[in-house]
Amino acid sequence: MRLGADRVRVRVPATSANLGPGFDALGLALGLYDELDVRLVGSSEVRVDVTGEGADDVPGDESHLVVQALRAALDLVGASQAGLHLVCHNRIPHGRGLGSSAAAVVAGIAAARGLVADAEALSDDVALGLASQMEGHPDNAAPAIYGGATVAWTAGARTGAAPLAVHPDIVPVAIVPPTRLSTSSARGVLPATVPHQDAAFQAGRAALLVEALGRRPDLLLDATADRLHQDYRRSVMPHSLALVDALRAAGVAAVVSGAGPTVLALARRTAQGTDADEAIATAFGPSMGGWRVLVLPVDTDGVQVVRVPSG
């Protein structure tokens, strides 16, 4: 396929996977964005300039995740490769369970979609398949692509995703620690098998969560209970689990965001703010110890790409 543009801008949202019981399946797009400007250059040079989150530790060459995804997407549709100048302004914290890797992969694929002549060749569904292939599991990639809340699944080589309703009273609050944790470390502490009664509990709560998210936010506390991953991960993120426990004891539907260590509260809007504000303030006391509280809207657009006239 031929290229149809030589410069695009991409905006991609942060995402929170799992949402408690929806391990490796449910995800939610958040109104916190990485923004990228991608330009094809005449030489074979690859240059990556990064500001914001991860600026000091992401590679500035072909191994950059956005570049790898962009190249994979161009290859998939048979478009020719070229030199690249990539300028990234990152707002999604790295290594915190807010989908920064999925965002990079989805952004690279979206950039390729904007650059090729036929954008449909890299439709959302094609993008989801490629992102899942590169990422391993689609729970962050799906909301990053489609926006909103999603349930994603794999069936053999095929990856699917479906949108879920999110009640307008729900306000995601990400409580982000200063420390990072890799997804591989957080997966390494999971058991190979779980008791049947825990699996049954989990299936029920995941089903309940779909109803609570869309229509019954009053059920969110029960609906976000998990027995499949969070407690097993306590040893690698004790402070996050202690915060989840404290918030849940105060009635707030708090979970570990993705593989952690960020804590996500699915709070409910009140006249003054959210029903999580007081519990968060009480849990921390006078010092936040480097943690940040981000009250974020639900992103409903997913990844966006626009062509920029060259000149």
Site residues (vs ligand HSE, CB under 6 A): 17-18, 23-24, 137, 139-140, 183, 186-187, 229, 258-259
98: Cα separation from own chain's centroid: 5
Residue 97 marked ligand-binding: yes
Record the tokens describing residue 113, joined without a space. Answer: 């979609």
Residue 93 marked ligand-binding: yes
Report the residue number, 21 or 114, with the smaller CB distance to ligand HSE. Answer: 21
**Which residue type is seen at 62?**
E
Report the residue number, 139 or 275, with the smaller CB distance to ligand HSE. Answer: 139
Residue 192 marked ligand-binding: no
> Least distance from C-beta 158 to ligand HSE, angstroms?
18
Report the residue number, 19 or 40, with the smaller CB distance to ligand HSE. Answer: 19
299: Cα separation from own chain's centroid: 11
> Least distance from C-beta 233 to ligand HSE, angstroms?
8
> Least distance from C-beta 190 to ligand HSE, angstroms?
8
- Among 263, 167, 256, 173, smallest CA distance to 219 is for 167
Residue 102 marked ligand-binding: yes
- End-to-end CA gap in the chain: 24
> Least distance from C-beta 44 to ligand HSE, angstroms?
34
The residues pairing with 24 across neighbouring beta strands, listed in sequence order, are none
Residue 269 marked ligand-binding: no
Report the residue number, 90 or 140, with the smaller CB distance to ligand HSE. Answer: 140
Question: In the Cβ-directed half-sphere of 246, how many Cα atoms lie within 13 Å?
Answer: 17
CA 67 – CA 86 distance, rounded (Å): 8
CA 298 – CA 168 distance, rounded (Å): 9
**Binding-site entries:** 93-103
**Binding-site entries for ATP:** 93-103
